[in-house]
Structure 1
Amino acid sequence: MSALAFTIVALLLSGPMPAMLARATWPMRAPRAAIVLWQSIALAAVLSAFSAGISIASRLFEPGPDGRPTATLTGGIATLGWPLWGAYVVVLALTLTIGVRLIGAVINVAIATRRRRARHRTLVDLVGASHHPAHLPAPCPAPLAGGLRILDVAEPLAYCLPGVRSRVVLSEGALNTLSASEITAILTHERAHLRARHDLVLEMFTAVHAAFPRWVRSAHALHAVRLLIELLADDAAVRSAGPTPLARALVACASARAPRGALAAGGPTAVIRVRRLAGRPNSRILAAGAYGAAAGVLVIPTLALAVPWLTELHRLFIA
């Protein structure tokens, strides 16, 4: 029953629930809480999947005739029979394989992303101009200009390269097109990404997405989180410069394409984000509900399923 319950929970958290949450509109008014909820769903789904596999594989250690666990290969076969024993071994192997793939995906995504950013940062430092007070309009706050690189590109472009040696990149086209308040908004947006390390949140979801086979995984979480971290940066820019300058800056940079591994102000979500700026403000009630749902997703399955199963497993091994 524990294995069945874990399997049902894992399927719900990896299929129907992400699909419903991806279609919902309320996360637009509570982006931070929505990200926490997505993280809770992803973590609970992974834990439930592993728990289901381990719960099934633990049948390899069912008590034998003397009441002690059948911890040897021969004892397991004699107690369960070849077909059932083989099925349990296959489940255990699949569970371990998924675990190894997940660890490998985390490492691969982290290494590949950092190498890509390092190469692009070196390129930007070589071809880009360092910040100088003359490059920015006078009203732009000085703290926003630290680590800024200016590219000689006519297209309005703004993005950041997160990391220990972070960079914010603007194009000459953005400086020539945007007003002082719009530049302040766009720089605040990029600084918000760097300060909150939104790249690490995105890396986690990218790794989980890459760890599972194509016929199992869903892109709902990854696409939703990409949008939500942009909304968080937009909120920081609104607090600094107001919604109108940010909206104008997003429209100006909407068609720009940033390099892989960077977090851009524009891009394909710009239209959605501009519409959001003209809509209703963030809701604390929705945020509180999302935080409560995130806690429930993690706590309720743990108390209802994991604790009884661990208790039974402990009883089995001390028999």
Structure 2
Amino acid sequence: MTALLFGILTIALVGPIPAALARANWPLYAPRAAMTLWQSIALAAVLSAFSTGLAIAANLLAPGPDGTPTNNPIEEFHRLGWFLWSAYVLVFVLTLLVGARLMYTVLRVAIRTRARRNAHRQMIDLVDSVEHRRHGDRSTRDLRILDVPTPLAYCLPGLRSRVVLSEGVLTRLDDRQLTAVIEHERAHLRARHDLVLEAFIALHEAFPRFVRSQSALGAVELLAEALADDQAARATCPTTVGRALVACADATAPRGAMAVGGPTTLVRVRRLGHRTPQRGIAATAYLLAAAILVVPTLAVAIPWLTELSRLLTHA
């Protein structure tokens, strides 16, 4: 029964719930709460998937005729029969493999992304047009200006973060719009949105194509941009940010960086025109995020762990 409940929860968390959330409009107007909810769903889905496999494999420790768990493989084989014993062992091995693949993917994405950023950072520092920056000025110390006509506006997160702009962007923006773009990119750097996106990229790459969905990653990327837009709007005003976004809509960025423009520009500009506090929706989203993690743990995981502890105690 525990495995069934965890299985149903896993299917819901990787299928209909993310699909419904990705189609909803309210997350754009409570982006911080929606980001928290997305992270809660992703974490709960991973934990539920592992719990499903472990709950099925725990049948290998079920009590034998004398009431004690049969932790001897030969006794388990005779008690369960070859079919059930093989099925439980297979589920346990698959669970371990999924966990190993997930950890490997997280490490691979982290190492690959940081190596790419470090190489790009070194190149940017070499070709930076230093005459555009005042040496020793803290407000421009992280800025790098590229003397190219192609529109570029992005940030490179990390311990030595950079905000990169090109001459092609500088010629399009006035001073206030330039301030909005810089504040947008610095908001990404302060909030470390790159770490959140890395986690979702790792989850996306860890699972086969017929299982994974692009909706979660795309929705979280849009929310990260919305949060950065809000910070830029506080530093300037929504109208200025909207005009800057339109001017930089075709701005590009290398892989591993976070660009101010992109295909979501129109959605974000429309959002800035109707940006009002949604405290009720945000509070509801925070409660849902907590419930998705806490309620299944209390209702399902604790009884299962209690039973497993009892079995191991009598071993």
Contact 1:158 1:168 in 2 (8 A): yes
Alignment of 1:89-108 (within 5 A): 89-108=89-108
Matched, 1:299 2:294: yes
* Cα displacement (A) at 1:61: 1.1
Residue identity matched to 1:112 = R
Q: Over the residues paired in the alignment, what is the CA RMSD in angstroms? A: 1.4
CA distance, structure 2, for counterparts of residue 252 and residue 166 of structure 1? 24
SS of the aligned residue for 1:160 comes to strand
Q: When the two structures are aligned, how many residues end up with a matched partner?
A: 313
CA distance, structure 1, for counterparts of residue 160 and residue 277 of structure 2? 32
* Cα displacement (A) at 1:143: 4.8
Corresponding residue for 1:139? Answer: none
TM-score normalised over the length of structure 1:
0.95
Corresponding residue for 1:281? Answer: 276
CA distance, structure 1, for counterparts of residue 272 and residue 95 of structure 2? 44
Matched, 1:148 2:143: yes
CA distance, structure 2, for counterparts of residue 176 and residue 280 of structure 1? 28
Percent identity between matched residues is 61
Matched, 1:26 2:26: yes
CA distance, structure 1, for counterparts of residue 49 and residue 133 of structure 2? 54
Q: Deviations over 1:14-54 (max 9, x none)?
A: 10000000000000100010010000000111101100100
Deviating beyond 4 angstroms after TM superposition, the runs of 4 or more aligned structure 1 residues are none
SS of the aligned residue for 1:168 comes to strand
SS of the aligned residue for 1:259 comes to coil
SS of the aligned residue for 1:153 comes to coil
Corresponding residue for 1:126? Answer: 126
Q: Alpha carbons of 1:252 and 1:172: their partners in 2 closer, same or farther (altered >3 Å)? A: same
Matched, 1:218 2:213: yes
Corresponding residue for 2:6? Answer: 6
Residue identity matched to 1:37 = L
Structure 2: any 5+ residue segments left out of the alignment? none
Corresponding residue for 2:111? Answer: 111
Q: Alpha carbons of 1:280 and 1:233: their partners in 2 closer, same or farther (altered >3 Å)? A: closer
TM-score normalised over the length of structure 2:
0.97
Contact 1:131 1:146 in 2 (8 A): no
* Cα displacement (A) at 1:155: 2.9
Corresponding residue for 1:36? Answer: 36
CA distance, structure 2, for counterparts of residue 305 and residue 73 of structure 1? 27
Corresponding residue for 1:203? Answer: 198
CA distance, structure 2, for counterparts of residue 311 and residue 240 of structure 1? 52
SS of the aligned residue for 1:170 comes to strand
Structure 1: any 5+ residue segments left out of the alignment? 136-141
CA distance, structure 2, for counterparts of residue 209 and residue 194 of structure 1? 23
Corresponding residue for 2:239? Answer: 244
Q: Alpha carbons of 1:317 and 1:131: their partners in 2 closer, same or farther (altered >3 Å)? A: farther
CA distance, structure 1, for counterparts of residue 131 and residue 81 of structure 2? 72
CA distance, structure 1, for counterparts of residue 139 and residue 40 of structure 2? 33
Residue identity matched to 1:42 = A
CA distance, structure 1, for counterparts of residue 192 and residue 126 of structure 2? 25
* Cα displacement (A) at 1:273: 0.5
CA distance, structure 2, for counterparts of residue 73 and residue 134 of structure 1? 72
* Cα displacement (A) at 1:156: 2.8
Contact 1:131 1:147 in 2 (8 A): no
Corresponding residue for 1:173? Answer: 168
Q: Alpha carbons of 1:91 and 1:131: their partners in 2 closer, same or farther (altered >3 Å)? A: farther
SS of the aligned residue for 2:149 comes to coil
Matched, 1:235 2:257: no
CA distance, structure 1, for counterparts of residue 194 and residue 66 of structure 2? 55
Residue identity matched to 1:237 = A
Q: Deviations over 1:184-232 (max 9, x none)?
A: 0000000101111110010011111111111111111111000000000
